[in-house]
Structure 1
Amino acid sequence: MVVARRRQVQTRKVLAAALAVTAALLSGCASSPPPAKGFEAAALQPYRLDSGDRLRVTVFEQPGLTNTYTVDQAGYIAFPLVGQVAARGQTLPALEGSIAGRLKQGYLRDPDVSIEIDRYRPVFVMGEVGRPGQYSYVPGMTAQNAIAIAGGFTPRGNERDVDVTRKVNGQVATGRTAITAPILAGDTIYVRERLF
């Protein structure tokens, strides 16, 4: 009778401990970042320039102005004749118009400016991957592609979804997405540790 009573007490302690662990795990799941407002839609918008992008700027019939230019940390490119031109947050057509407008102000009569991206800013892959770090972005890249380039998942890596941090409307936001979701240049992908 005493032995049976001790077993019941031990069983209750084990059940209480299991419930406490389960509650802690569930509360950890509840604090996970939700998809941010506009987060998924940002991948469908026209590409916006930022620090680290390298641009190939062509000014028709002006070989002295045609060159590659990198968007600096302040978000500008240093363009001959006109000086600093704001590039951060601009689309390629908007930046073409901005440079052409500045060149019209006393330098060229009717400048024809064309810009293409020579090299995108990198993506960062962190967490439970083989080789965390900075990697080159390729248009159309998904989180799964970036993880593969970073050495794939570790045995503890959560392979269902990832946390992605990106700029949305000028604000840094983190959201949880499927590994098949498209990513953008400059994104940080974080692979969490799976629970079981």
Structure 2
Amino acid sequence: MAVVLASLVGGCSGYVRPSPAFHEVLNQPYRFDAGDRLRITVFDQPNLSNTYQIDASGSLAFPLIGSVPARGKTTDQLQADIAGRLRNGYLRHPDVTVEVEQYRPFFVMGEVRNAGQYPYVAGMTAQTAVAISGGYTARADQSSVDITRQINGEIMSGRVPVTDPIRPGDTIYVRERFF
């Protein structure tokens, strides 16, 4: 009887086990997306070195070379792309570096005091995200959260412990507890 009851309660919880890709992305190089603000430096070219924002289409507007696709690229890939475009008729040996100046925001919803959008800081966990949003409400389930993230263009969700790391652009949902 206890086994049947446990399986019924477990089946009603709506638990969604994250796919392996959900956690594998945490160990991969960061990939840019809309909302990221980048500091791009071209050595000996102060007129080209500046802060650039990736727009909703996933591109950034760069002097001389125009629109540069950035969505899904790593730092090394974007550096090589910009250097290659500058080498094509503008600079002989461009030395380009790309750094994230500000990550795209994350979102917190559900049973928190101040649901909304917040700036991401490297190394954040779901628990620190909840703390930034004002903490849990009295009805919040504090044992785990649901995180939704986009990985290679695919939206994935999973229920994880509050100690799990989050990524820029993640949506954290705090569920209501039943007891």
3-state DSSP of counterpart to 1:140: coil
Count residues with an aligned counterpart.
175
Task: Give 1:26 deviation, angstroms.
Answer: 4.6
Q: What amino acid does structure 1 have at the position aligned with 2:116?
A: G
Question: Which residue is 2:66 aligned to?
Answer: 83
Equivalents in 2 of 1:70, 1:163: separation in Å?
A: 29
Superposition RMSD on alpha carbons, in Å?
Answer: 1.7
Gaps of 5+ in 1: 1-21
3-state DSSP of counterpart to 1:43: helix
Higher normalized helix content (fraction of residues): 1
Equivalents in 1 of 2:146, 2:108: separation in Å?
A: 10
Question: Which residue is 1:194 aligned to?
Answer: 177
Question: Which residue is 2:83 aligned to?
Answer: 100
Task: Give 1:32 deviation, angstroms.
Answer: 2.6
3-state DSSP of counterpart to 2:127: helix
Question: Which residue is 1:69 aligned to?
Answer: 52
Equivalents in 2 of 1:164, 1:94: separation in Å?
A: 28
Alpha-carbon deviations, 1:145-191, whole Å to 9, x = none? 00000011111111111000001232011011110000000000000
Question: Which residue is 2:12 aligned to?
Answer: 28
Equivalents in 2 of 1:171, 1:26: separation in Å?
A: 27
Identity of aligned residues (%): 54
TM-score under structure 1 length normalisation: 0.85
For 1:3-152, list aligned pairs within 5 A: 26-29=10-13, 31-152=14-135
Q: Does 1:154 align with 2:137?
A: yes
Q: What amino acid does structure 1 have at the position aligned with 2:39?
A: R
Equivalents in 1 of 2:19, 2:172: separation in Å?
A: 15
Task: Give 1:37 deviation, angstroms.
Answer: 3.2
Task: Give 1:27 deviation, angstroms.
Answer: 4.0
Equivalents in 2 of 1:168, 1:136: separation in Å?
A: 20
Equivalents in 2 of 1:148, 1:78: separation in Å?
A: 35
Gaps of 5+ in 2: 1-6
Equivalents in 2 of 1:63, 1:79: separation in Å?
A: 13
Question: Which residue is 1:13 aligned to?
Answer: none
